[in-house]
Structure 1
Amino acid sequence: MSELNNSSSTKRKKKNQMSNKECHKKERLHNDNEGDYDQQHVVVVVDDVIIPATTTTTTTTTTTTTSTLEESSIPPLEDQQADGIAAYNVFSNKLLRQRILHYLPIFTLKRSLMTPCGDAQWIGDTSVLQLTTDEPYINSACWSSNRVRHLAHGFTATFGFRMGKPVPSGHDPRTADGLAFVIQNSRQGKEAMSTGEGAGMGYGGIANSVAIEFDTWRNREHGELDNSHISIQTGGRKSNSHKQSYSIGYAPVVKFRMDDYAPHNVVIVYDPVSTAAKHITVSLDGVQMLKINLDLQVLLRLENNDEAHIGFTAATGQLHQEHIIDYCHIYRLNTSF
């Protein structure tokens, strides 16, 4: 009997000792957690650019036995705060902010940011845009899913295209019709597209638009002057058209073919600030082809007097070719430095 009592007493002592240890352990954990910090990240937005900053608040944290981040990989709190303050100071400086924003695109041809219409499609997993295949009677377009901002204050657009037949064939070697870089704020928005003939190059009939077309077929019945030409077409706030009467700037391309399936590079600059007259220039493969006076805010009805959809259109008719856009970037115009 005494052995049983001694055994029970021993068990109670061990249990009490364990309880005391747990209490001490909890007390140590509580003391260790006092004064821990939970980092809260906030942002400062200046001219649509997000600037990270770091503040701290005191919280109580729970203990974990494992961690996915090593302590040494986390910068000291003082460094994080200093970085946030430095970033804010940089973007508070108007000149520095202008220099930085000048190098940040306001538009990039990227499949996640675009809405294809008609037969437009992406090539593989890339952001190379194929507007048409080498087949007849195709209309297509591809627009920025959201309106692009800062257009009225000036921009520089660069893009590369290929037009033509990828391999020679025994079929008709003639090519048609062409592609266009288009700014539009029509009611159809990102679903706007021409349903007309190939000569319309995918933008014909789109209201409140301006199209810079790269045309590879002469439509004599509509007054076109050359087989290969660049033209700026607009109907103002009414429907646009490929007809020669809608052209506000025209340049023949005679030194080389645009439909040779070789890469060609375009630079479009809209400058509303550097001279008394607002104007736009178009350069192809390093050669300025067009320069005309143009005021986007007067010509078109822009959203918030500054925003519109940007994209590309193309079409084929009885004659056909591939139309491909390899890349496109648009930046703010900066004339202050």
Structure 2
Amino acid sequence: MTRRSLFAAAALALAAAAPQAQAALVIDYANFTGACASSLTCVGSTAVNGGDLRLTPSTFNAAGAGFSTTAISLGAGATFSTGFQFRMDQAGGIDPADGFTFVLSKASSGLGGVGGGLGYQGVANSVAIEFDTYDNGETGGSNHVAVDVNGSLNSLATASPYGVNNCHLGNHLAAGCMSNGKIWSAFVNYDGNTKLLNVSVQESGSALIQLITDFSIDIAAALGTNDAFVGFTAATGSGIENHDILNWQLANDTSITGPGNRLPEPTSLALMSFAGLAALAAGRRRRAA
């Protein structure tokens, strides 16, 4: 499986060949080139690195965040779905650490704490899905995905990918460890009518698995709004790793549940990277030639 194969190549090719109406897709980045200078607010250590959104480099005691410059209108009851690919590599220090979050927040200001704060701790009126690679005493050990609310890391629901609970230096490159440097895909789906949240992940070369199923949570009540700033946070402490987001899609409906079921149409997107548009144009020129 090649880089960005779940999103960019198939999405751009199919969109060019057979455009579809996709008004619900409000964010689409095939990559993040130019994003921090335009459509994303990047704070702390976060910057674009080779087209990836590098939330933190593999350095000690860093924290960063990248989130939408404007609030995104979610569906009824804060309905949304999102898919993105990520990679965490170059672990060092005391252990691979600390992880990152996908976050929805009422306000655009603020960056949470370093280390176990994941760059999210203390962010009020927010909901986050954490992808945690260090054991700070949470259920799920040093390799878990969890649901957090209002800047607290006392997770409401926790699960470990492929049943792998502990990934430390020395075994962190094993299958199932999110810090193993492979490309991972994540899908978060929330229905504001039923107030049920689902989270799935897929390690490159492995099957898609659902980690959190029909978890009951009132996201609209937590946010206090249906218009949210959305994005990512991450942090390192005495343990380090790169935290990279490779691509990202978000819709204000529940259509994104796994790879291949959401395809961008450039004319209907609120956000799209300049690199993605350039790639689409180049493909059309090659076919015309």
Q: TM-score, normalised by structure 2?
A: 0.68
Given that residues 132 and 314 in structure 1 are in contact (C-alpha distance below 8 angstroms), is that contact kept between their aligned partners in structure 2? yes
Given that residues 140 and 159 in structure 2 are in contact (C-alpha distance below 8 angstroms), is that contact kept between their aligned partners in structure 1? no
- SS for the counterpart of 1:298 is helix
Distance, in Å, in 2 between the alignment partners of 1:225 and 1:175 is: 15
Q: What corresponds to 1:129 in structure 2?
A: 53
Given that residues 93 and 238 in structure 2 are in contact (C-alpha distance below 8 angstroms), is that contact kept between their aligned partners in structure 1? no
Q: Which runs of 5+ in 1 are unaligned?
A: 1-98
Q: What corresponds to 1:193 in structure 2?
A: 111
Report how many aligned residue pairs link the two structures: 211
**Residue type of the alignment partner of 1:251:** A
- SS for the counterpart of 2:121 is coil
Q: Which has the higher helix share?
A: 1
**Residue type of the alignment partner of 1:310:** V
- Per-residue deviation, 1:224: 4.2
Q: What corresponds to 1:263 in structure 2?
A: 183
Distance, in Å, in 1 between the alignment partners of 2:178 and 2:53 is: 17
Is 1:241 the counterpart of 2:152 in the alignment?
yes
Task: Kindly provide the CA deviation profile for residues 113-142 of structure 1, in whole angstroms up to 9, marking residues without a partner as x.
Answer: 101000100014x3x200111110001001
CA RMSD in angstroms comes to 2.0
- Per-residue deviation, 1:173: 7.3
- SS for the counterpart of 2:240 is coil
Tell me: higher relative CO, structure 1 or 2? Use CA pairs within 8 A at least 6 residues apart. Answer: 2
Given that residues 132 and 142 in structure 2 are in contact (C-alpha distance below 8 angstroms), is that contact kept between their aligned partners in structure 1? yes
Task: Give 1 or 2 for the bigger CA radius of gyration.
Answer: 1
Distance, in Å, in 2 between the alignment partners of 1:172 and 1:334 is: 40
Q: What corresponds to 2:11 in structure 1?
A: none
Given that residues 137 and 316 in structure 1 are in contact (C-alpha distance below 8 angstroms), is that contact kept between their aligned partners in structure 2? yes
Q: Which runs of 5+ in 2 are unaligned?
A: 1-19, 165-175, 203-207, 256-289
- SS for the counterpart of 1:321 is strand
Distance, in Å, in 2 between the alignment partners of 1:100 and 1:334 is: 15
Q: What corresponds to 2:205 in structure 1?
A: none
Q: What corresponds to 1:117 in structure 2?
A: 43
**Residue type of the alignment partner of 2:74:** H
1:24-63 maps to which residues of 2 (within 5 A)? none
**Residue type of the alignment partner of 1:199:** G
Is 1:289 the counterpart of 2:211 in the alignment?
yes
- Per-residue deviation, 1:164: 2.1
- Per-residue deviation, 1:278: 1.6
- Per-residue deviation, 1:174: 2.4
Task: Kindly provide the CA deviation profile for residues 164-209 of structure 1, in whole angstroms up to 9, marking residues without a partner as x.
Answer: 218xxxx6572100000000013xx1x3211x33101001011111
Is 1:250 the counterpart of 2:158 in the alignment?
yes
Select which of 209, 219, 237 maps to 1:317: 237
Given that residues 153 and 333 in structure 1 are in contact (C-alpha distance below 8 angstroms), is that contact kept between their aligned partners in structure 2? no
Q: What corresponds to 1:333 in structure 2?
A: 253
Is 1:298 the counterpart of 2:205 in the alignment?
no
Task: Kindly provide the CA deviation profile for residues 252-283 of structure 1, in whole angstroms up to 9, marking residues without a partner as x.
Answer: 2334100001100001111124xxx3211000
Q: What corresponds to 2:102 in structure 1?
A: 181
Task: Kindly provide the CA deviation profile for residues 272-325 of structure 1, in whole angstroms up to 9, marking residues without a partner as x.
Answer: 24xxx32110000121100201222222211xxx20100100000011000000
Q: TM-score, normalised by structure 1?
A: 0.59
- Fraction of identical pairs, as percent: 28
Distance, in Å, in 2 between the alignment partners of 1:271 and 1:330 is: 14
Q: What corresponds to 1:30 in structure 2?
A: none
Given that residues 189 and 254 in structure 2 are in contact (C-alpha distance below 8 angstroms), is that contact kept between their aligned partners in structure 1? no
* Structure 1 residue runs of 4 or more that deviate by more than 4 Å after TM superposition: none
Q: What corresponds to 1:149 in structure 2?
A: 73
